[in-house]
């Protein structure tokens, strides 16, 4: 089975070996991770221009500290809850998944 990131490569922008997705595609990425049981470790927001990649730290969430198995199952919910209010933003997102 192909990695989720490979399956989404055509839907995003690949720069420096990193895949950047629009909010709706990032949400779809998280949902596919949930379906496959792949842990989402975080979501990072960026402004992209023709020549630059500008991280926006206040538009990022770290989920890597969810070690408890009972809490771990919520990594997908938390990632989606983070992305949904940003659905209409001009940001791009990198979803960090444990593939």
Domains, in order of start, for the chain? 4-97 (3.30.190.30)
Residue 99: pLDDT band with limits 50, 70, 90: confident
Residue 64: pLDDT band with limits 50, 70, 90: confident
- DSSP strand E in the chain: where? 13-15, 18-20, 40-48, 53-62, 92-97
Output the CA–CA distances (angstroms, integers) from residue 98 to 10, 36, 47, in the order listed. 20, 11, 24
For 16-27, the pLDDT digits (tens) are 899 999 999 999
78 membership: H or E segment, kind and range: helix 75-83
Alpha-carbon span 97 to 84, nearest angstrom: 18
Question: What mean pLDDT comes out for the span 10-14?
Answer: 95
């Amino acid at each position: 089975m192909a990695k989720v990131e490979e399956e989404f490569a055509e839907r995003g922008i690949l720069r420096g070996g990193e895949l950047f997705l629009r909010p709706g595609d990032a949400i779809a990425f998280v949902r596919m991770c949930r379906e496959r049981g792949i842990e989402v470790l975080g979501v990072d927001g960026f402004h992209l221009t023709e020549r630059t990649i500008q991280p926006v730290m206040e538009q990022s969430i770290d989920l890597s500290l969810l070690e408890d198995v009972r809490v771990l199952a919520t990594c997908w919910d938390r990632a989606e809850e983070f992305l949904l209010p940003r659905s209409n933003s001009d940001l791009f997102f990198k979803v960090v998944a444990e593939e």
